[in-house]
């Protein structure tokens, strides 16, 4: 039986149109998928219907999202794919994070006085790292999938060539980045309607991107990092002031990394490894919280303790974390329960600890969010949690002429200067300083959970708030709730800098706001409800899936339990 969760009319029609084309091949395969766009979710069904597995579905989802969600991901971006292979229990993380160009250097975004030049690490091709998504899609298909890459990319090629109707989220984020899109003639020609934000119901067609995807399908990684696509990328980037070279493209490699593992009250956590801060941060926070019975205390104290744990996690993020191929990070110590006990000893239940007490004078800056996430699991037990990004909405705002590829602005995720904050308000230092070929630190947190009864796959976009959102989802899993609840939990956040509890509208009740303020917390409401969690769960004894797509977004969860 097929079940649709959070299903707009357009999505229902799209799913049933797709299923009608593959009837007879899907009912024997159990599958669950949740992604940020309905077209990506039913592309996964299409791959399962053709005899593929969760890894083939993940290739199709990632490629389709690159087409239909250009504000959040794309071939010009990067990401992390957390994998579990059922046949032998093997788990790994595909690191498809972008790398700094070889011509990059630590002071490239500073003026003569050593001050960060506003916008330089955010807008235009100078802000772009070398993309990892194309190489990761190829790697995933060749090493883990059952179908050829050319088959898994067909849905994305189709939607790029034939087009699709844009949603309200596209229009909202495009409005936010309109000046940057307008400054790139190739981007404006693709994403705007005669130079303006398109009206609802407009069809976005991307013929150049369809050709780029087809070259990737035909030639694998060489179809992007060499040949016609590479020539067009380099020509446009250099003409607009970027510093990419063919050697940068030749050097790019996907890295398989051992995931970060931890436990919390009988739950086994598998999280993303560096250069993601997510796995370390989640295990640290849960290690701190494990000695508190969060179900037996009042709501104010619970949120106070979670906030104080997050404050310490993000403080350590700034002090220690970066690309493990460039620096020695004390991962074992950071995720050790004894280390967490030391952090816990500095927490008081009756008072907050200002961030200045952790690390001297600190700057303040607000942040934003954007990225994408999907979760998929097949009937064999293979599963994928993947978080992909171009960083800021529509990345750098720059499209390389003739490619349809919008470039990321992930160079902003480096620390342009020790003590400076990035566009998300995150502070850092030398561990995450710019260096040629280095991968910038990330908060993306694809995650697996497992206890004796259930397996969960979850993650979300959200910039610097990703770790806190996934943490709240894990705690809700621990409380016995299911995916519908995890994706809907009211959200609050602390990231050490700025020293404030950020919360979405409705994220904290009036009583909780008053109680936290009495404990000394500064409070800051965001202007919108944030995040777009995609989550699924396998019930071991019942042998069935449940799944949910965040009500804040436009995604779709699809379940087939027979």
| Catalytically annotated residue among 7, 307, 371, 403 | 371
Asked if residues 532 and 73 have their Cβ atoms less than 8 Å apart, the reply is no
152 annotated to bind ligand: no
Instruction: Name residue, tokens 């669950």.
Output: 32
132 is in an annotated binding site: no
Q: Is the four-CA dihedral 361, 465, 93, 455 of positive or negative sign?
A: positive
Rg (C-alpha) for the chain, rounded Å, is 22
Convert 286-317 to b/e letters by CB count within 10 Å (16 or more is b). Answer: bbbbbebebeeeeebbbbbbbbbbbbbbbbbb
Active site residue 371: yes
Q: Which has the closest alpha carbon to 217: 146, 155, 154?
A: 154
Do the annotations mark residue 443 as ligand-binding?
yes
According to the annotation, is 413 in a ligand binding site?
A: yes
CA distances from 491 to 227, 280, 354, 554 (A): 46, 21, 21, 18
Distance CA 536, CA 373 (A): 12
Q: What is the three-class DSSP state of 159? A: helix
**Residue 407: CB partners within 8 Å, gap ≥ 6?**
76, 125, 127, 128, 131, 237, 390, 395, 396, 398, 399, 400
**Residue 114 forms beta bridges with which residues?**
none
According to DSSP, the β-strands at 523-525 and 501-503 are parallel
Could you tell me the two tokens for 204? 């976005």
85 is in an annotated binding site: no
DSSP assignment string, 99-152:
B--TT--TTTTB-TTSPBPTTTTTSSGGGPPBP-HHHHHHHHHHHH-SS-HHHH
Helix (H) or strand (E) holding 375: strand 372-378
How many Cβ atoms are within 10 Å of 275's Cβ, its own excluded?
28
Distance separating alpha carbons of residues 207 and 161, to the nearest angstrom:
5
501-503/492-493 β-pairing: antiparallel
Enumerate residues 6+ apart whose C-beta is below 8 A from 309: 284, 285, 288, 289, 343, 347
Q: In 3D, which of 154, 153, 151 has the Cα closest to residue 137?
A: 153
3-state secondary structure of 204: strand
Q: And the tokens for 19?
A: 């299923």
- The 10 Å Cβ neighbour count of residue 333 is 10
* Residue 389 in marked binding region: yes
- Between the CA of residue 285 and those of 262, 280, 300, 524, what are the distances in Å? 11, 9, 18, 22
What tokens does 447 get? 């995650």
CB 415 within 8 A of CB 428: yes
3-state SS, residue 406: strand
**Is 48 within 8 Å of 378 (Cβ atoms)?**
yes
Give catalytic residue positions.
371
Q: Residue positions in the annotated binding site for L-glutamate?
A: 97, 389-391, 413, 442-443, 463
Q: Residue positions in the annotated binding site?
A: 97, 389-391, 413, 442-443, 463
């Amino acid at each position: 039986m097929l079940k649709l969760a959070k299903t707009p009319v357009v999505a229902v029609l799209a799913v049933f149109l797709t299923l009608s084309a593959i009837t007879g091949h899907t009912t024997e395969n159990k599958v669950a998928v949740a992604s940020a766009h309905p077209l990506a979710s039913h592309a996964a069904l299409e791959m399962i219907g053709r005899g593929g597995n969760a890894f083939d579905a993940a290739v199709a989802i990632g490629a389709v999202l690159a087409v239909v969600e250009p504000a959040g991901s794309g071939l010009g971006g990067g990401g992390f794919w957390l994998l579990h292979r059922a046949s032998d229990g093997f788990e790994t993380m595909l690191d498809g994070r972008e790398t700094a160009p070889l011509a990059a250097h630590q002071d490239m975004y500073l003026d003569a006085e050593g001050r960060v030049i506003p916008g330089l690490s955010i807008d235009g091709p100078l802000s772009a790292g070398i993309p990892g998504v194309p190489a990761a899609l190829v790697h995933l298909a060749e090493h883990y999938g059952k179908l050829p890459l050319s088959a898994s990319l067909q849905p994305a090629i189709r939607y790029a060539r034939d087009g699709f109707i844009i949603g309200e989220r596209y229009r909202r984020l495009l409005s936010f980045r309109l000046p940057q899109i307008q400054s790139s003639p190739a981007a404006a020609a693709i994403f705007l309607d005669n130079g303006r934000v398109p009206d609802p119901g407009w069809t976005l067609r991307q013929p150049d991107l369809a050709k780029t995807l087809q070259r990737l399908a035909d030639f694998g990684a060489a179809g992007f990092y060499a040949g016609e696509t590479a020539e067009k990328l380099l020509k446009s980037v250099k003409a607009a002031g970027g510093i990419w070279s063919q050697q940068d493209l030749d050097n790019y490699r996907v890295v398989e990394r051992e995931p970060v593992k931890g436990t919390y009250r009988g739950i086994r956590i598998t999280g993303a490894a560096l250069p993601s801060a997510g796995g370390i941060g989640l295990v640290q926070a849960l290690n701190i919280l494990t000695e508190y019975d969060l179900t037996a205390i009042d709501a104010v104290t619970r949120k106070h303790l979670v906030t104080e744990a997050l404050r310490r996690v993000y403080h350590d993020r700034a002090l220690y974390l970066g690309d493990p191929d460039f620096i020695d990070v004390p991962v074992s110590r950071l995720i050790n329960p004894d280390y967490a006990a030391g952090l816990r000893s500095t927490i008081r239940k009756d008072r907050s600890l200002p961030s200045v007490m952790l690390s001297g004078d600190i700057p303040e800056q607000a942040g934003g969010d954007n990225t994408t996430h999907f979760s998929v699991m097949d009937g064999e037990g293979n599963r994928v949690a993947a978080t992909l990004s171009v960083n800021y909405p529509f990345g750098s705002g720059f499209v390389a002429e003739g490619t349809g590829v919008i470039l990321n602005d992930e160079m902003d995720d480096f620390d342009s200067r020790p003590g400076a904050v990035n566009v998300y308000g995150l502070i850092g230092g030398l561990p995450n300083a710019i260096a040629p070929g280095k991968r910038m630190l990330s908060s993306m947190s694809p995650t697996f959970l497992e206890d004796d009864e259930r397996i969960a796959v979850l993650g979300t976009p959200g910039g610097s708030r990703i770790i806190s959102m996934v943490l709240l989802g894990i705690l809700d899993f621990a409380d016995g709730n299911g995916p519908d609840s995890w994706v809907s939990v009211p959200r609050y956040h602390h990231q050490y800098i700025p020293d404030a509890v950020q919360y979405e509208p409705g994220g904290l009740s009036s009583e909780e706001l008053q109680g936290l303020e009495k404990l000394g917390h500064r409070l800051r409401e965001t202007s919108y409800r944030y995040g777009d969690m995609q989550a699924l769960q396998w019930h071991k004894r019942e042998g069935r899936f449940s799944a949910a797509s965040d009500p804040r977004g436009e995604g779709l969860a699809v379940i087939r339990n027979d």
